[in-house]
Chain A
């Protein structure tokens, strides 16, 4: 069950990052879950950081204090991190909405200040 959930979350991450950086669908479909995800997508460290921050905003959670970027370098690691760290309700929200809606509704607008 958890493995199936991980795969579904991987798919969301793949689509989300592809949408954020306008990556061709063909390139997205060829991503190896166990190789460096962001380099396969053709994006650098700054954009990778933006993607991870965006994921946290979509989940409406703060970035944890101790987070090692090396431990989030593959798609499988990213997915496992989200499934392990966040409640079922947030995961379900991630799976139930399309990418455009997730980006539109994410918390984090600076106008909250």
Chain B
């Protein structure tokens, strides 16, 4: 790892020989996201705080019907969501190995709580793998800062972002849904 101005940098994906590599099956077991809104395809757990992964939006994904007709581009918000999903993989992986028992009647759910910064530097196109590298800070009251960047196959940086992520019991989220008149389906 490298220290850059007090921020722990992440390992480059190509150097992750000591990382724990997760494929689609492992990722599906860790996070609740499903098609067509699961964007993370592979992950490499580098440390307690660092994770790399691959996000990909295949040609024919329904989001491209409207964004845009005749010129599909991955929406920036979906790239941010991919970062949040990868952070969720990291959290869930470590939680599963910490020995902490999940209350299956009221499980903890990872939530995206804020986007502090985001810069979209180059467009991402269908079928183009986006390599995400994240570094997660220590938590305060269940909230953490996730700093991340996304790179194309050539190493060109496509985006950078800083997210606030947290965890909440599902019952809390259901209470918010019910008080706001949200649908259960």
Among listed A4-12, A28-36, A46-54, interface-contacting one = A46-54
Q: Which of chain A's residues 1-43 have a Cβ closer than 8 Å to chain B?
A: none
A49 touches which one: B6, B9, B148, B164 (CB < 8 A)? B164
Residue A112 is within 8 A (CB to CB) of chain B in the complex: yes
Which residue in B8, B117, B141, B143 is a CB contact (below 8 Å) of A110?
Answer: B117
Q: Given the complex of chains A and B, what is the CA–CA distance between A103 and B140 in angstroms?
A: 21
Is A60 a contact of B5 with CB atoms below 8 Å? yes
Interface residues on A, range: 20 to 34
Cα-based distance from A53 to B9 in the complex (angstroms): 18
Min distance, Cβ B10 to any Cβ of chain A, angstroms: 7
Name the A residues within 8 Å of B4 (CB-CB).
112-113
Point out the residue from A67, A107, A108, A113 that lies within 8 Å of B140, measured CB to CB: A67
A46–B143 alpha-carbon span in the complex (Å): 8
Q: Are the CB atoms of B138 and A63 closer together than 8 Å?
A: yes
Q: Which residues of A contact B (CB under 8 A)?
A: 45-46, 49-50, 52-53, 60-65, 67, 69, 107-113
Pair A69/B141 contact, Cβ less than 8 Å = yes
Say which size band chain B's interface belongs to.
Answer: 20 to 34
**Chain B residue nearest in CB terms to A53:** B145
Among B104-153, those with CB < 8 Å from A are 113-114, 116-117, 119, 133, 135, 137-138, 140-141, 143, 145, 147-149
Q: Is the CB of A111 within 8 A of B160?
A: yes
Contact B6 A62 (CB under 8 A): yes
Contact B138 A67, beta carbon cutoff 8 Å:
yes
Determine if B137 and A63 form an interchain contact, defined as CB atoms under 8 angstroms apart.
Answer: yes
Alpha-carbon gap, A109 to B166, bound state (A): 21
Closest to A60 in B: B6
A-B contacts, 26 listed (Cβ < 8 Å): A45-B141, A46-B114, A49-B140, A49-B143, A50-B116, A50-B164, A53-B137, A53-B140, A62-B6, A62-B7, A62-B8, A62-B137, A63-B145, A69-B140, A107-B6, A108-B147, A109-B117, A110-B147, A110-B148, A110-B149, A110-B162, A111-B119, A112-B4, A112-B9, A113-B9, A113-B135
Q: How far is the CA of A61 from the CA of B7 in the complex (A)?
A: 8
Among B6, B117, B140, B145, max chain A CB count under 10 A is at B140
- In the complex, what residues of A have CB within 8 A of residue B160's CB? 110-111, 113
Q: Of all chain A residues, which has the CB nearest B141?
A: A69
Do A52 and B140 have beta carbons less than 8 Å apart?
Answer: yes
Among A50, A62, A109, A113, the residue within 8 A (CB) of B114 is A50
Tell me whether A46 and B164 are in contact (CB under 8 A). yes
Question: Considering the complex, which residues of chain B in the window 19-50 have a beta carbon less than 8 Å from any beta carbon of chain A?
Answer: none
Which B residues are in CB contact (< 8 Å) with A49?
140-141, 143, 164
**How far is B184's CA from A47's CA once the two chains are assembled, in angstroms?**
29
Among residues of A, the one whose C-beta sits closest to the C-beta of B150 is A113
